[in-house]
Chains A and B, each alone.
Chain A
């Protein structure tokens, strides 16, 4: 159902979302005023041409009151900001959602069920091609990569497999918590590394450690989607920072033209946990050379 909805929305947005080439007012709605959102806010304001755009900042999403002042575009940062915007914003006002996983974006859009709204999401998820390139450069010897998928992320697997090259993706379905570790234990022996996709149904703060310990026990590196995951014990992560996303969002606003419903980040960052690499006996390239290799390939 979700893919169907996405397709329809995509169509609508392509038709309807015509970014104004002229000056206008932007309402920036933040889920929260701290951490990554603050980083996003400041970089966004910086990147957007202030002579042409006025930015009305709403630092707390639940304090948002629609229509005051009238705005041409709503930019949301974070899942909560999007939720509020979807609920309260006037239907005619286009929304640019940023700084949220694709899974969350799709769920929120599905929940709001307002056809006709112009809405584009700049998601945190990395494009599949970039991911496979990253894996190849990071672990050149590994061809079998395992994934844990929930129903919400299963669609991404096919996209991934399309750009896999010589990589073979093996997956185990995880429908509930109790199935997680058995599934993991079942998957890991079959694969050379675990690729973690952003999936709130699988990777959570309270089971991250168990997952990491399990992978460690089985001497399998984890390729993750955030620097925090790397800090917790994953081998490496491919991700985009709020700054990068903010610049990308500003660029999107400035550029006239239609936008797809989901926009992957154009810029990315790489994090590697050297300790983990050492513990697992892996000789991985450093972040800079990795990035060069990836950019050299032209995989943007």
Chain B
């Protein structure tokens, strides 16, 4: 029933009950007709027998067989009667007419009233007893039989008749066939009507069904002709409205999907924070550029930029500040670049630049410019100022480059090299040269721990020249170190500290320096000498109490004062933790130790530190002394600083002095100490110590 269409269901609904009722009626009327015919036949049989019986009485009594035979023949003339038998009291046939089918036992039976005696498919037999009739008589003359007692009727014989049922069967067939014909005709008329009605009803429904099907297949423009009235009309109208709404919704959804797709495509290609291209897109651009170059197009260069000192911003001011830095830096870089150049954020604080049609010195110049911009850039967040730098790796896209992986590797390595070499500078590396990849986190942790354990951290002395002898009452030396590993190029302290700060390993290096410095001081003390050690500490050392405890313990163990121990922080580090820095420096001074600030002059708050931290010594930023002699503004800035520091009785150190001619100028400006290649090369601390001792002894 479920797979039938509406039309079929309607037809079944209309025709099936009618057909069943029709057939039932035909059967009913046929059966009842037959019943009435049967009962008619029955009545006829009974009445015939009943009439025949008394008529036969006289013949039976008198034994007039001709008479009985005449009666039997007459009875047989009756329609349907096929045989008549009259028997006497003992069942012997007195008269027979027609073909008798009854058994002789039937003829011998005793009946007390007329009735059916035998029946088969084709005939019926009725029998009736023949009674001796009794008349009214005068009881006076019949004394033996009182009149009031009914005389038992004597049966003197029987009559039997057989009725033929063939007529009945024929009539039955006639009735059935006639009835079925009527039903057939009725059904044909009904079917015609039902089909018309079903079509009338199912056609609009089918139109709706087809429309719904078309809709579900996605043809949203489908509409139904509103041809019907009544509920179907409402349905059609409703469908059309629904379809219209659906169509509109679909259209707007499509628009929104397209918009979202565009947005997603943009997001897939761009960095959400800065709006620059992302790494994936950058690599695609690189592929294109490489393909163009290999196809003989213009050569181009790629810059890999890693921001320096970005982590402190994140650590101290949170990610909002870090994000702001990245946004500002990206704008800064974008301002410097041409429209055809591609700037992308490769992730974290790494940027990539594809310089089209720009190679060699020009590319180098762009890189230097960006480096300068990053170096000069100051990020101000609330009351804090951060100096950010950029280590930039430069690599050229040439035809020899096989794939962008080579480019990426080379750029990465160059960037790493720049960072190794003291940050905020540009290094170049060819793409096809063998490269050293940057080490990763886990590697750094094990390397530094292993190096400290195996004493691979070689502590060196940077000799410091004093403008005036005996200003401190002993030689000043700055400690530095580099990591020596077998089969590897040595790693500079700045790179080491950079890594150490990233992975929270600064403390162990700090302790190592302090240990070495105090040991050296103790050794000099034993020789009756006093030396002053400038010990660089990592930014994280500030506020670490175990450092104070360690220093106190070591000084006490060597039984020396901390006067010669100059603990040096970068100006930036002290800026970020000013309150902690003040507390920390106070504790150090209580131990008799001295405070020194490195990178002085790199931030705007440099001067405020002089008051709050009250350092004994400041090491001037390299940028202050780099252009001395050639730039008047630098010289006057240096002079102003010198005036302020000397007023506060703070010693000044100028670093990176490679040119001996500058020394005189610095002396004139009043800078107290100088270091750099012009003063002397780095040497192992022990060697320096021996040298100082020798020199002093001689």
Contact = CB atoms under 8 A, between A and B. Distances in A.
Given A181-B62, A210-B62, A200 B143 contact: yes
Contact of A231 (B61, B132, B136, B142): B136
Contacts of B141: 101, 124, 198, 200, 203, 225-226
Contacts of A206: 132-135, 151, 154
Contact of A124 (B58, B137, B140): B140
Contacts of B61: 181, 210
A194 interface: no
A228 B143 contact: no
A205 B134 contact: yes
B206 to A, nearest CB: 87
B66 to A, nearest CB: 13
A225 B146 CA distance: 18
In the complex, which range does the number of interface residues on chain A fall in? 35 or more
A185 B141 CA distance: 24
B340 interface: no
Contact of B145 (A36, A205, A225): A205
Nearest to B147: A35
Contacts of A209: 133-135
B148 interface: yes
Contacts of A232: 135-137
B132 to A, nearest CB: 5
Interface in B133-176: 133-148, 151, 154
Contacts of B139: 35-36
A205 B136 contact: yes
Nearest to A184: B62
Name the prevailing secondary structure of the B interface residues: loop
A171 interface: no
Per DSSP, chain A at the interface is: helix
A99 interface: yes
A297 B145 CA distance: 37
Contact of B135 (A99, A104, A208, A227): A208
Contacts of A242: 140
B138 A204 contact: no
A209 B57 CA distance: 10
Contacts of B133: 206, 209-210
A104 B151 contact: no
B144 A200 contact: yes
Contacts of B137: 203-205, 208, 226, 228-229, 232
Nearest to A185: B62
Interface string A183-221: 001000000000000101001111111101110000000
Contacts of A205: 134-137, 142, 145, 151
A74 to B, nearest CB: 18
Classify chain B's interface size: 20 to 34
Chain A CB within 10 Å, residue with most, of B134, B143, B154:
B143
A104 B62 CA distance: 29
Nearest to B62: A181
B56 to A, nearest CB: 13
A59 to B, nearest CB: 15
Contact of B140 (A100, A204, A208): A100
Nearest to A233: B135
Contacts of B144: 200
Contacts of B134: 205-206, 208-209
A278 interface: no
Interface string A3-35: 000000000000000000000000000001011
Nearest to B138: A226
Contacts of A231: 136
Given A205-B151, A210-B61, A214-B62, A99 B132 contact: no
Contact of B143 (A36, A104, A181): A104
B222 to A, nearest CB: 101
Contacts of B146: 32
A260 interface: no
Contacts of A149: none
A229 B142 CA distance: 12
B148 A34 contact: yes
A262 to B, nearest CB: 16
Contacts of A35: 139, 147
Contact of A228 (B136, B145, B154): B136
Contacts of A104: 143
A79 interface: yes
Contacts of B140: 36, 78, 99-101, 124, 226, 242
A80 interface: yes
Contacts of A99: 140
A79 B140 CA distance: 8
Interface in B529-568: none
Query: 4 shortest A-B CB distances, which residue pairs?
Result: A79-B143, A226-B138, A208-B135, A232-B135
15 contacts: A34-B148, A78-B140, A80-B143, A181-B62, A185-B62, A206-B133, A206-B134, A206-B135, A207-B132, A208-B135, A213-B58, A226-B141, A228-B135, A228-B137, A228-B138
Given A210-B133, A225-B138, A226-B141, 12 more contacts: A32-B148, A100-B143, A101-B143, A200-B143, A204-B137, A205-B134, A205-B142, A209-B133, A212-B135, A226-B140, A228-B137, A231-B136
